[in-house]
Amino acid sequence: MAQTKIDFYYPVQVGGPVSEVIDKFVAAFEKANPDIDVAPIYAGNYVDTTTKALTAAKAGTPPALAVLLATDVYTLIDEDVVSPIDEFVKTDEDKAWIDGFMPAYLKSAQTEDHLWSVPFQRSTAVMYYNKAAFKEGGVDPENYPKTWSEMVAAGTAALKKDAEGKVQRWGIGIPGNVGSAQWLFGALAAENGVKLVNDAGTETYLTDPKVVEALQFWVDLSKKEGIHPPGIFEWGTAPADFIAGRVSMIWHTTGNLANIRKAAAFDFGVAPFPGNPDPASVLGGGNLYIFKDASDEDKAAAFKFIQFLTSDETLADWAVATGYVAPRDGAWETPVLKKYVEEVPQALVALKQIPQSVPEFSTHENARTTKVLNDALAAALTGNKTPEEALGDAQTEIDRILASYR
């Protein structure tokens, strides 16, 4: 009979039937560790899960561990609710395990001279494109767009209207609603050679002319080029729109690769993001955090479970089942992933894109600053403000929020 029971908060609304996969991992871990009972608590999307975890921690009943956004690190430190992972890394085997993670993914968990979380449910955003729509529009389906101008040209060619001029198939869709807007806008900025925030999470650069130019390009895809749905294109429905042939290209997480592979009735491609001129993407997804006020026994059990979840073998199974990027080089050397990438070479796009990817927008008071940025992006995309006005107003508000951290 299990002697230790730990609560594991997990966000379920992240694309694909992932809760079933997590349940299988939990069962396998419990079989190998009969003294530990892991209780997954599926707590909604990332924002919901963070809110519930913080509420439980403040009430004195924290989970032992949770999968929360890598970008939540400053918020969780400021709230003093998580323990650094360093505290649990004691043996040479532990150190070797940490060293096995890709540096790009570890970087987002490192600040204040500590490693605060462990990469798990990680991704980069990629571009899915409908090869049949490309071919129909006279675009080489094997030659994906590598620059902004090439993406506009491909989107224009793949655009489809009926006899009355009503759009039947859009050229490109970049989701701009809360939860995805700041992530994909970070990619647009990086593609334009600029970043949105400093490494310490204390300063943003939203009024940089190249940041403004990136947002203007996004707005112009609809207003000027006419190849993007008007207003805000929704993250949640983007894969379904793509699968149904209502949009030729979408920017979305690698975590939807398995879903799109299963449901798409046409040949599709997966491409790295285009650049202006150099390509870039943004690292996204969730990390595993251990909560500070859980009992020592629970925290030790949580650390053991984390090591199981992030073994090369488990991460390989995870990548195949979901499409998420295994954040350890060793996972890609396992027979499971080697066989998978032979069958699904699209999975290598995200892996190869990692060196050209930047961390996601993350600051102290991250929930507040992200809301300010997302509101600004929405104002520009819906035409309520110009990109310059929207980002200028956002920069002023974020300066006020972050003043005490500088």
User: Which of 111, 118, 122 is closest to 77 using CA atoms?
Assistant: 111
Q: Are 264 and 252 in contact (CB under 8 A)?
A: no
| Cα–Cα distance, 301 to 7 (Å, whole number) | 11
Render pLDDT for 197-234 as a digit per residue (tens, 0 to 9).
Answer: 998 899 999 999 999 999 999 999 999 999 999 999 99
Which amino acid makes up residue 35?
Answer: D
In this prediction, residue 15 carries a pLDDT of: 47
Render pLDDT for 323-377 as a digit per residue (tens, 0 to 9).
Answer: 889 999 999 999 999 999 999 898 899 898 888 888 899 999 998 999 999 999 9
Instruction: Parse the chain into domains and list their residue ranges.
Output: 4-123+284-358, 125-282+363-405
Residues 4-123+284-358: name the CATH superfamily: Periplasmic binding protein-like II (3.40.190.10)
CATH number of 125-282+363-405, picked from 3.40.50.10860, 3.30.450.20, 3.40.190.10, 3.40.50.620: 3.40.190.10
DSSP 50-87: HHHHHHHHHTT---SEEEEEGGGHHHHHHTT-EE-GGG
| Cα–Cα distance, 268 to 248 (Å, whole number) | 10
Q: What is the pTM of this model?
A: 0.87
Q: DSSP character for 49? A: H
Q: Are strands 160-161 and 281-291 parallel, antiparallel or unpaired?
A: unpaired
The series of mean pLDDT values per 10 residues for the chain, 406 residues long, is 88 70 95 96 86 94 95 94 97 97 90 94 93 97 97 98 97 91 96 94 97 98 98 94 98 88 95 95 93 97 98 95 91 97 91 88 92 97 98 98 94
4-123+284-358 and 125-282+363-405 in the same fold? yes
| Cα–Cα distance, 396 to 325 (Å, whole number) | 36
In this prediction, residue 2 carries a pLDDT of: 66
